[in-house]
Amino acid sequence: MSKRQSNREEIFTRILEAAEVEFGLKGYSGASLQHIADRANLPKPNIVYYFQSKANLYKQVLNQILMDWNDLFDQATIDDDPAVVLDAFIREKLALSFTNPRSSRIFAMEVIGGALHIGDYLKEDLVPWLTSRVEVIQGWIDAGKMRSIDPTSLIFMIWATTQHYADFEAQILALTNKEALVEEDLKRIGDTVSSIVLTGVGLTLPN
């Protein structure tokens, strides 16, 4: 007669999910352990029992998000067709913003707040990633496959535009007078962004 159907791991993820929702809604300071506990259907001290502190729980949530963010655009090499790669990158990143806006928002709030908790990750893990991606794009430019533009600014531009639909969802819904963004919007926006960016850097998709 086990009132306790839940093992350690299940509770872990339950708390993490509740925390993600709460942090996503209220930000770090605004979120309270009590609310997270209520959401996870657990007494508050249990949260601390599993995660030691609020700051640590927050770090774990961020870590989870960064691990979930797939390595889109990661396997691309100089030999690939830049049009195909960039189009896929834009559409995948945009789709991720649509399906998982909460993750994007937590990350955004963290960075806007100065990236105090993930500054090290940015410098240690993301810098090499960006460097290697810039090299690939520069390779395409040198090979005459695309127009000469600043690769870093291009990557930031794609990041900014795609994440915008997750982070500023409230503004977009208010401005477009909608309840939610749907599959149709994803396609229209993906078409527009991909079209502008690809044309902008002198590329056309093969048929």
Partner DNA sequence: ACAGATATTGATTGTATGATAAGGATGTAA
Partner DNA sequence: TTACATCCTTATCATACAATCAATATCTGT
Give contact residues for DNA (rule: CB under 7 A).
2-4, 6-8, 11, 31-35, 42-46, 48-50, 52-55
What is the identity of the amino acid at 134? V
Binders of a copy of itself in range 93-122 (CB under 8 A): 105, 108-109, 111-115, 119, 122
Question: How far apart are the C-alpha atoms of 163 and 110, rounded to whole Å?
Answer: 14
For helices 101-112 and 151-167, give the axis angle rounded to 10 degrees: 120
User: In angstroms, what is the minimal distance from the CB of 29 to DNA?
Assistant: 8
**Nearest approach, Cβ of residue 38 and DNA (Å):** 10
CA angle, 164 as apex, 99 and 187 as ends, to 5°? 55
Q: How far is the CB of 200 from a copy of itself (least distance, A)?
A: 3
Residue 175 binding result from a copy of itself, DNA, none, given CB thresholds of 5 to 8 Å by partner type:
a copy of itself
Instruction: State which residue, 41 or 177, has the beta carbon closest to a copy of itself.
Output: 177
Q: Nearest to residue 23, comparing CAs of 102, 114, 120?
A: 102
Helices of type H across 69-100: 82-99
Query: Burial letters for 98-135: b for 16+ Cβ neighbours within 10 Å, e otherwise?
Result: beebebbbbbbbbeeeeeebbeeeeeeeeeeeeeebee
What's 124's DSSP letter?
A: I
Take residue 25 and report the two structure tokens written for it: 């809604």
Spatial separation of the C-alpha atoms in residues 117 and 56, rounded to whole Å: 10
Q: Is 171 a binder of a copy of itself (CB under 8 A)?
A: yes
Task: Choose the binding region for a copy of itself from 36-44, 51-59, 69-77, 154-162 (rule: CB under 8 A).
Answer: 154-162
Nearest distance from C-beta of residue 101 to DNA, angstroms: 23
182 binds a copy of itself (CB under 8 A): no
Q: Does 34 bind a copy of itself (CB under 8 A)?
A: no
| Chain residues in the site for a copy of itself (CB under 8 A) | 25-30, 105, 108-109, 111-115, 119, 122-123, 126-127, 130, 147, 149-150, 152-154, 156-157, 159-161, 163-165, 167-168, 170-172, 174-177, 188-189, 191-193, 195-202
